[in-house]
Each structure stands twice: as structure tokens, then as C-alpha cells.
Amino acid sequence: MIKTKKGFMLRSVAGRHVVVAIGQASVDFNGLITLNDTGAYIWEKLAKGTTYDALLKDMLADYEVDEETAKKGIDGFLDTARGAELLDED
């Protein structure tokens, strides 16, 4: 299961998607992350908790994209989110 860490929320500000730290998380993470529409879609799925396979299945169903392109997008997002320590995985 992959899930976003507690203390981070997706918000829409002036038509842009941003992830901000709240509560205790804001002590360790100072700033915000801007996401495009696809990134916001992935974040929302991760906020509820999902698996890689379920996320891929959802992307293929909801976007007009081939499997290779969907995997590249998901992998890139997950790599970046892991690097910023924004995910809990088990």
C-alpha cells in the first residue's frame, strides 16, 4: 500500500494545485509543491491509499494514455515524492 504521509494536503490556489504541509509536518517541511492536473490526480489517489497496480489501472481507465506512458508518469511522480519523503509505503 502506498499513501501520502499525514500532515500534507492538496489545495487548489488560484487555479493551481499545491501540496502544503500542515501541523507538525510544517516544522520539518517549509514550502509547497506545485502539481499539474495529472500530479494532483495521482496525489488524490495516494491520499486515500492505493497500490501501484490499482493506480496504474485507474490511470489507464481515466486518461487516454498507453500503459508505458502511464507507468513513466507514475514512476516519475513516485520517485519525486519518495525523494521528498512524502510517502508511507508498506
Q: Coil, helix or strand for 8?
A: strand
Place of cell 502544503: 20
Q: How far is CA 69 from the centre of its chain?
A: 17
Backbone angles phi, psi at 31, to 5 degrees: 145, -160
12-60 tens-digit pLDDT: 989 999 999 998 888 888 788 999 999 999 999 999 999 999 999 999 9
CA distances from 55 to 3, 30, 60 (A): 11, 28, 9
Axis crossing angle, helix 37-48 with helix 67-83, rounded to the nearest 10: 70
pLDDT tens, position by position, 59-79? 999 999 999 999 999 999 999
Say if strands 32-35 and 87-89 run parallel, antiparallel, or are unpaired: unpaired
pTM of model > 0.85: yes
